[in-house]
Amino acid sequence: MMLQVEKLSFSYGEVQVLHGIDMEVPEERIVCVMGRNGVGKTTLMKNIIGLLNPSAGSIRMHGREITKMPTHNRIQAGLAFVPQGRMIFPKLTVEENLKIGLSARSDGLDRIPGEIYELFPVLKDMTDRMGGDLSGGQQQQLAIGRALVTGPKLLILDEPTEGIQPNIIQQIGRVLRQLVEEKHMTVLIVEQYLDFVREYCQGFYIMNRGRIVAGGRTEDLGQDIVRQYLTV
Ligand SMILES: Nc1ncnc2c1ncn2[C@@H]1O[C@H](COP(=O)(O)OP(=O)(O)OP(=O)(O)O)[C@@H](O)[C@H]1O
Ligand SMILES: [Mg+2]
């Protein structure tokens, strides 16, 4: 199992936001986490990557306990994170943004791996452009490219399709599929678009008020669940 989350709880101060989350992500799958706004999806991802520390429970990667491991060690162990809202550096060039990812590598590689530009050819054409001058979709591709620079085994993305035009959404979906099929990576993705989930994800979890309330294979994600937990 690539990732196992067990009985994970988290509070912002006095306010408990995650309540005993259990979740498993098998290797070489794309698994999504869905749920309405404010149910705790981002908080869960930040606990998994180590930007927030749970009050209880455990996180294991390949069976290895990482619950208390600092984020940079998790990245060296093969985790990578594309945050919600992309968070690229607007005043740095595309190439400089990608190079930020290099600093997290343990092998001292100082050139951006060519495969990043193969996956996202648009970045190759724009290496000297400022990140802030890119379109939303291009910025998202840059954010994913930056995460891939560390050579991760498990890529976590928080709403990568939010506010992005449909043709780029499809492109992102195809890249994720390619990463799984050709590079044997695993993907955990927070995603709101049902069409994207049905097309690209094999497994799903649904959160509501800090709890996992449903989960399974994407083909079993029925209308009743969608109506109860996803539509507003
Ligand atoms: N830094 C923080 N301090 C206090 N409360 C927070 C903080 N960040 C988020 N929260 C609260 O925690 C709850 C879960 O937020 P979170 O961002 O994890 O939800 P989400 O499911 O990712 O929502 P969205 O779909 O809008 O991205 C919300 O009630 C939110 O207001
Ligand atoms: Mg969020």
CA dihedral 74, 81, 121, 109 (to 10 degrees): -20
Distance 34 CA to ligand 2 centre (A): 10
Is residue 55 within 8 A of residue 10, CB to CB? The reply is yes
Q: Which helix (H) or strand (E) holds 60?
A: strand 56-61
Distance 43 CA to ligand 2 centre (A): 7
- Burial code (b: 16+ CB inside 10 Å, e: under 16) for 102-122 equals bebeeeeeeebbeebbebbeb
Q: 59: which residues sit within 8 A by CB, 6+ positions away?
A: 3, 4, 5, 6, 8, 47, 48, 65, 66, 67
- At 181, the amino acid letter reads E
Model confidence pLDDT, tens digit, residues 74-102: 999 999 999 998 889 999 999 999 998 88
Give Cα 88 to chain centroid, integer Å.
15
Give Cα 201 to chain centroid, integer Å.
13
Distance 111 CA to ligand 2 centre (A): 32
Model confidence pLDDT, tens digit, residues 190-215: 999 999 999 999 999 999 999 999 99
CATH of the domain at 137: 3.40.50.300
Q: Which domain holds residue 24?
A: 3-229
Q: Which residue has the CA at smallest separation from atom 2 of ligand 1?
A: 12
Q: Which atom of ligand 1 is nearest to the CA of 36?
A: 25
Model confidence pLDDT, tens digit, residues 171-196: 999 999 999 999 999 999 999 999 99
Q: Which residue has the CA at smallest separation from atom 9 of ligand 1?
A: 43
Whole-number pLDDT of residue 104: 79
Residue 109's pLDDT band, with cuts at 50, 70 and 90, is confident
Give the residue-averaged pLDDT of 67-79: 94
Ion ligand 2: protein residues whose beta carbon lies under 5 Å: 41-42, 84
CA dihedral 199, 193, 29, 8 (to 10 degrees): -160
Q: How many domains does the chain have?
A: 1
Model confidence pLDDT, tens digit, residues 27-38: 999 999 999 999
pTM over 0.85: yes
Whole-number pLDDT of residue 77: 93
Model confidence pLDDT, tens digit, residues 113-149: 999 999 999 999 999 999 999 999 999 999 999 999 9
